[in-house]
């Protein structure tokens, strides 16, 4: 009997998550409402932490060593609208990379739970 696969495995492991994260930030940095937030950010470090973060959320064998979500976004004055856009771009990036609708929902449900930690308005 085969073991049940995790979302991480279904996405395609590390390569799959990297493709999703790359697609996700293309969308985020292309949005004039969101891009200014990232002006002073080391994008390579951000990308590496986001790969770890999404891998963890997807049940992968990866540990996230970045800041917790409240600390990472403190003082940015992030609105609900900005949060919704970021969550939407993540969902679009997942779909674009052939993640099934059930798996997209499972990831977005977990991300939605983080809204009170990220939003400050």
Task: Give, as one character, the DSSP assignment of residue 4.
Answer: P
By CB under 6 A, how many residues form the interface with ligand HEM? Answer: 21
Report CA Rg, the chain: 14
**Which residue bears the tokens 């985020």?**
28
Q: Candidates 2-10, 16-24, 71-79, 100-108 — which segment interacts with ligand HEM by CB under 6 A?
A: 71-79
Q: Is 37 in the site for ligand HEM (CB under 6 A)?
A: yes
**Which residue bears the tokens 């697609």?**
23
Among 23, 25, 58, 73, binds ligand HEM (CB under 6 A): 73
Among 11, 83, 99, 107, binds ligand HEM (CB under 6 A): 83
């Amino acid at each position: 009997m085969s073991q049940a696969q995790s979302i991480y495995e279904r996405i395609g492991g590390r390569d799959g998550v990297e493709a999703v994260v790359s697609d996700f930030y293309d969308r985020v940095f292309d949005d004039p409402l969101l891009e200014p937030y990232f002006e002073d950010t080391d994008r390579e470090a951000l990308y590496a932490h986001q790969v770890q973060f999404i891998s963890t959320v997807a049940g992968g064998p990866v540990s996230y060593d970045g800041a917790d979500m409240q600390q990472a976004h403190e003082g940015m004055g992030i609105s609900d609208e900005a949060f919704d856009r970021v969550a939407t771009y993540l969902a679009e990036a997942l779909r674009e990379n052939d993640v099934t609708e059930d798996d997209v929902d499972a990831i977005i449900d977990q991300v939605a739970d983080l809204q009170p930690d990220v939003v400050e308005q």
